[in-house]
A and B are shown apart, each in its own frame.
Chain A
Amino acid sequence: MPAYNRPDALPRALETLLSQTFDEFAVVIVDDKPSAEVRAVVDRYAALDGRLVYEPNSQRLGMIGNWRKAFERGRELYPSSDYFAWVSDHDMWHPRWLEALVETLDRHPRGVLAYPLMQRVYERHRRSVTRRFETRGTASPVRRLRTAQKGMAAGNCVYGLFRASALERAGVFRPVLAPDRQVIVECLALGECLQVPEILWYREVAGEFSYGRQRRMFFPTGIPLHTYLPTTVQHVSVLFWDLAVRGIGRPGMGRAAGAVYAGAALWFESRRELLKPDAWWREMLRKTPLKPWISTRPRADDADDETPVANAPGPIA
């Protein structure tokens, strides 16, 4: 759990995690903004449950550094663990969340990631996200990639359960913008993404998406220049380096096949970036008199497949 200053929501998050029906797991909290309140909450639950490990950072690592550290510390402390998941310090998980995901990955050895349907929790209401995306049964990595470009919401998938070895090969989180999308695209080169068709994760909605916000959150000590390149260039460069030069996909995917995969990613991502409803050229045209003719559909990651839940309160104290 990469934590960052949410002592208000942490008890709920910890309770829903520690109440999982599948109990062979541990929670490693890596706190990027330690405080007495967070410490008190963690101590209270650590006294009840020995599966809780707390590690405050002595200096702020930023989101990418903190997410990487959570993975690395998890692997160091529990090297025999087959699976790994990032969890936030403010969401809620259904008691069967881990049980269903572990069962799915156990049944499908070719799966590298399993994730459930989710419900967004707003301040005063909730919305169920019924988007369906998975690459179950698709043997070709390029076909998996093509499917992902059409329907994947990386921000939801990244909170799924990963096969730890595959995630390690894929390089965990890289210092690029939208690192969740990058790591999942890389994982898709190694195996299938599976979806559990039940709402088992309740996600509290944070602020608006923007690359500027990502740069500030990811790199607190200084923003690298390469993050000003288009995200497609950042992602494909990492992919090419990993798959075509380092050959991390071997033996399943050779270097040449890795280069083809990176090329396919360049094509699919470029097309996606150009055609998406909030593409830069659409934004520019929206500032002109042509605005009425420009589509105003929301981002694919957001509201197009959400359904409201009546009588549903938002965050619960």
Chain B
Amino acid sequence: MTSTPDPTRPATPLWERLARRVASRFGPGAPRKAGPRRSKQERDQELVELRGQRIEKKQQADEAREQRRREQAARRDEARLDLDRAVDAAYANYRRVRDWALHVRAAGGGHLPLDDRDRQIAASLAPLWDADRATIANLRHWSDPVRGPQPSLAAAPPELGERLRRRVGMLRKWQLGHVLVPEVATLGKSGFMIGKERHSEESVRFALGTAALAEGGVLSAFHKPSDRGLVWEIGGGWGGFAYLFKTLCPNVTYVITGPLERLLVSASYLMSVYPAARCRFYGEPGTGEIWADWDDVDFVFAPESLLSDLSPPRLDLTIDIDELRGMAPARRAALVQRAHEWGSRYFYSMLPALAVDDPAGPWDVIARFYWPHPISLRTERSRAYRRLSPPEHEAAHLIGWKRMCL
């Protein structure tokens, strides 16, 4: 029950209320601030105890820090050992690829009339014919000529990292995060850490390529667990697109053809980032029939000079990541025609956006053998994305459907 103030009763005057407050604070009944006075001995004793507690806490913190340091060092050692093992494996893979390439070259199978671009790349990659372990440990950085200039962590301007970060964010925003496959740091770190993943200009460009394949209704054809697909990439670059495609669509056999120097890079890289992959090399001693049980094989590597001997049992998709553009028209036409003859249902081509209108570009040749369908990605159409990405960094995508009558 609460009492209500009586409105008829006069209120306590202000001076009386103030006086009571002062008396309660400073008067005889007011609480004392300090406790009873302690002796000096007691105070010293307390100080010693406090000091002991402080020292004990510091010792515990030092021990915990030391423990953490030891664990971190152990983890670093473990990671270094893992990396060493990975590099050892990569070097062994490289030697296998190099032995095969040398064997093919010695047998006269590596001869290919090279274009200027190929000659430049071959000259840049010449040291890879006799690479040591340290070279293979940084294979990504050695493959610069194949993949074009790539900013390394140290040399990249800060705005590049920021732009990449925003592009990745935008891809995720546009529901294309599923095609983003981060870089592997095994054979040389490249790109930028974005969140917990490492991405580079290349990995984002390739992600846009797979997004184009998805938008063009092609990628879903390779998601079926029952039906094994066969994909052929012309040139193969340094193996980055193959790595991404194989990660997204494991149920495919991926064929890469190109000059031997470039296969040295792509084959060594792919065998190292996919240690369990089953790889075959056309013309490797003891391999036997290259297409026997092909659906058990993950990667097939063959020199472009031996294409006429290579007749796959089927072909679902042919991929050109800006490889045809640098070739002579006759060589380019022969490759597209080969894809058509092998029955490739789809032909995917990626070009720099500024090269699309070039009359000497490869899309006209593709259109002779395939019904062309340019793909414009939703991200690339958005103004925000275009602000982030100048046209010289943009790619154009074309998907071709096989023609019946030429």
Contacts and interface: CB of A to CB of B under 8 A. Distances in A.
A21 interface: yes
A295 to B, nearest CB: 25
B18 interface: no
Nearest to B353: A311
B217 A18 contact: no
Contact of B404 (A19, A307, A308): A19
A95 B371 CA distance: 11
A96 B221 contact: yes
Given A15-B403, A19-B402, A309 B374 contact: yes
Given A16-B371, A316-B372, A44 B405 contact: yes
Contacts of B181: none
Interface in B262-309: none
A132 B210 CA distance: 23
A311 B374 contact: yes
Given A92-B371, A199-B217, A200-B217, A311 B396 contact: yes
Contacts of A202: 373
A162 B395 CA distance: 39
B376 A310 contact: yes
A286 interface: no
A236 B374 CA distance: 42
Residue of B216, B220, B396, B405 contacting most chain A CB atoms (<10 Å): B405
B129 interface: no
Contacts of B221: 21, 96
Interface string A275-317: 0000000000000000000000000000000011111110010
A12 interface: yes
Q: Dominant SS at the A interface? A: mixed
A19 B376 contact: no
Contacts of A18: 404
Interface residues of B, number: 25
Contact of B374 (A49, A199, A313): A313
Interface string B368-403: 000111111010110000000000000010000111
B204 to A, nearest CB: 19
B376 A308 contact: yes
Interface string A5-27: 00000011001101101000000
A48 B356 contact: no
A44 B405 CA distance: 9
B328 interface: no
Interface in A118-175: 126, 128
A179 B239 CA distance: 54
Interface string B212-236: 0001110011000000000000000
Given A96-B217, A309-B374, A311-B396, A316 B404 contact: no
A11 B221 CA distance: 25
Nearest to A309: B376
Contacts of A308: 376, 381
A15 B404 contact: yes
Contacts of B404: 15, 18-19, 45, 48-49
A311 B376 contact: yes
Nearest to B372: A316
A296 to B, nearest CB: 23
B230 to A, nearest CB: 14
Given A16-B371, A21-B221, A199 B215 contact: yes
B217 A12 contact: no
B374 A312 contact: yes
A95 B221 CA distance: 10
Interface residues of A, number: 29
A240 B404 CA distance: 47
B10 to A, nearest CB: 71
B401 A16 contact: yes
A48 B371 CA distance: 18
B193 interface: no
A199 B402 CA distance: 18
Nearest to A99: B221
A304 B356 CA distance: 29
Nearest to A41: B405
B165 interface: no
A75 interface: no
Contacts of A316: 367, 371-372
A60 interface: no
Nearest to B380: A310
B259 to A, nearest CB: 30
B372 A94 contact: no
A37 interface: no
Given A19-B345, A45-B404, A316-B372, A94 B217 contact: yes
Nearest to A119: B373
A95 B345 contact: yes
Interface in B332-376: 345-346, 353, 356, 367, 371-376
A50 to B, nearest CB: 14
Given A48-B404, A96-B217, A15 B376 contact: no
Nearest to B357: A311
A95 B374 contact: no
A15 B375 CA distance: 20
B220 A198 contact: yes
Contacts of B374: 126, 309-313
Contact of B401 (A94, A310, A313): A94
Nearest to A92: B371
Given A15-B405, A95-B345, A310-B381, 14 more contacts: A15-B403, A16-B401, A18-B404, A19-B401, A19-B402, A92-B371, A94-B401, A95-B401, A96-B217, A308-B376, A309-B376, A311-B356, A311-B374, A312-B374
Shortest Cβ-Cβ A-B pairs, 5 listed = A309-B376, A312-B374, A310-B376, A15-B404, A94-B217
11 contacts: A15-B403, A15-B405, A45-B404, A94-B217, A199-B216, A202-B373, A307-B378, A307-B381, A310-B381, A311-B374, A316-B372
Interface of B: 215-217, 220-221, 345-346, 353, 356, 367, 371-376, 378, 380-381, 396, 401-405
